[in-house]
Structure 1
Amino acid sequence: MQVSDFARPYHAGTGPVGVLFCHGFTGSPWSLLEWAKFTEAAGHRVAVPRLPGHGTSWQEMNLTGWQDWYSCVEREFLSLRAQCQQVFITGLSMGGALALRLAEHYPDDVAGLVLVNPAVMGQFKTNFAPFLSKLMASASAVGSDLKDPTADEFAYDRTPLKAAASMLRVWVDVRACLDLVSCPLLVYRSAEDHVVPASSTAFIMSHVSSEERIERILLNSYHVATMDHDKETVFRGSLEFFDEHRR
């Protein structure tokens, strides 16, 4: 199936520091592209993969699951690790869960994490996805939660329920092993988020083993903060974080 132009993966830069960008559920590299280019311009090598089933159609996404999404970011991480002296990982929403899983499985190789509204749990209604997926193929959309009316995430207009049920399973897997995360952690959380509850970030912050764990609140953005009014805060803050932890 044809991939939308805005959903194409992005790889650029040649610096000794690599940064992997993991996008969210039903989204695409588009939601992280400006952040990645900002990071590239600062001299870093960047990789923004397109997760399988994303950027095409929600019907195709229902044919994929969390193992496919995680395998994709793992391959990209290992490629960056082979090319760079250090690798940082960023993640938006479900991409935050994938980033955390990489940090759990590669504790000596992840230099740090920058997460934006990370999802390791969802709203109460999300828990019904496994049941609903047996009755229907899709539900109302969850993407493009943006305060800026001029921005558009171009996420799917429907939520693929089989894929959503799979996302719940990776959340369980990630939550069970958060104590294995020991790298420096910076989390940006929107004060008003209509997709992921604040309890998701709270759970992460209280269960990781990282000595450095920082939470910063974004007051002028909704869930997709990497494209919203506070995006410059995220971009510049992440660069400062990378610089502080370079070796």
Structure 2
Amino acid sequence: MTTNPLLTAMSAPARPELTGGRPIGALVLHGFSGSPASMRPWAEDLAERGYAVEMPLLPGHGTKWQDLNTVTWTQWYHEASAALDRLLETCETAVVCALSMGGSVALRLAEERGSEISGLVLVNPFVSSKRRELLVLPVLKRILPGLKGITNDIKKPGMDELGYPMLPLKGLAEVVAMWRVVVPDLPRVTQPLLYFRSRIDNVIDESSSATVLGAISSTDVEERLLEESFHVATLDHDAGRILEESAEFIARVTS
């Protein structure tokens, strides 16, 4: 079976001549049941600007949806942490750019890795929910392997994040388990944060924004609303804005 190249991980070397003479890395993380396809234009743009890029394929993704029912959130974290280690082998510092569940992983890295990370750019991070259905998830995951998928919440026609058609419930329970570790430690996050939030998001609710922005200790924080994009804003009408504004932010916090 041939794997779609858009589903694969990506690595690119630093080009310090484009980043003020210093090698700087960017770790790029996709969301739950999605794939690197959702982040590839952003990762490629960062590489073109001279940043070393590591965009891992998080365990359980890019294969079949049932595989997400066999992994733990710590496997996503360790994969991301290993990718950060690879960047720091050649780079002076790194930033983390993440979408949705990848935002939870990014925040955990910020909590644990501290000064190794110069900044965070989060797009619709998924760290909490008001959905009452999650209360029955511990029972439901034992009865049903999955429900209808949540991928491709994109306003722009013709875009595809190449995610799973089903929402794996044991995998979703791991997302919730990750929140129980990440959220209490949010005051440990001190890095500059650029937070993009879609005004209309059919996957997550606004509680994630309140949870993150109300708890972190960062003093350099800005939330920017996206008016023309749904959840997967990195492939939506505001994608160009995300690329440009994140590049300005990354250049500033790593200077």
User: TM-score band, normalised by the shorter chain?
Assistant: over 0.9
Match of 2:244 in 1: 236
Q: 2:167 aligns with which of 140, 152, 159?
A: 159
The within-5 A match list for 1:184-223 is 184-223=192-231
Pairing 1:50–2:49 present? no
How far apart, CA to CA, are the structure 2 residues paired with 1:61 and 1:244?
A: 37
Tell me the distance in 1 between the aligned counterparts of 2:139 and 2:145.
11
Q: Quick one: which amino acid aligns to residue 228 of structure 1?
A: D
Q: Which amino acid aligns with 2:14?
A: T
Q: Which amino acid aligns with 2:33?
A: T
The percent identity for this pair of structures is 37
Q: What is the 5 A alignment of 1:90-101?
A: 90-101=97-108
| Separation of aligned partners in 2, 1:101 and 1:28 | 20
> In structure 2, what is the Cα distance between the partners aligned to 1:72 and 1:179?
24
Amino acid at match of 1:193: D
Question: For residues 110 and 6 of structure 1, what CA distance do their matches in structure 2 show?
Answer: 27
Q: Partner letter of residue 33 of structure 1? A: R
- Equivalence for 2:150: 142
Structure 1 residues without counterparts, runs of 5 or longer: none
What is the root-mean-square deviation in Å for CA atoms of aligned residues?
Answer: 1.3
Letter of the 2:176 counterpart: L
State whether structure 2 residue 7 is matched by structure 1 residue 7: yes
Say whether the 8 Å CA contact 1:4–1:56 is kept in structure 2: no
Amino acid at match of 1:130: P
Following superposition, the deviation at residue 128 of structure 1 comes to 3.0
Indicate the SS of the match to 2:230.
coil
Whether the aligned pair in 2 keeps the contact of 1:122 and 1:195 (CA below 8 Å) is no
Q: Shift in Å at residue 203 of structure 1?
A: 1.1
Paired with 2:162 and 2:180, the residues of 1 have a C-alpha distance of 28
Partner SS, residue 25 of structure 2: strand
Any gaps of 5 or more consecutive residues in structure 2?
16-22
Are 1:130 and 2:138 counterparts?
yes
What are the Cα deviations for residues 56-86 of structure 1, in whole angstroms up to 9, with x where unaligned?
A: 0011111111011111001001111121011
Secondary structure of the 2:197 match is strand
**1:123 Cα deviation (Å)?**
4.5
Check whether the contact 2:130–2:207 (CA below 8 A) recurs between aligned residues: no
8 Å Cα contact 2:6/2:40 also seen in 1: no
- Is contact 1:138–1:158 with CA below 8 Å preserved after alignment? yes
**TM-score with structure 1 setting the length:** 0.97
Question: Does residue 10 of structure 2 align to residue 33 of structure 1?
Answer: no
**What letter corresponds to residue 148 of structure 1 in structure 2?**
K
CA distance in 2, matches of 1:31, 1:136: 27
Rounded Cα–Cα distance in structure 1 between residues aligned with 2:208 and 2:105? 14
Pairs aligned (count): 247
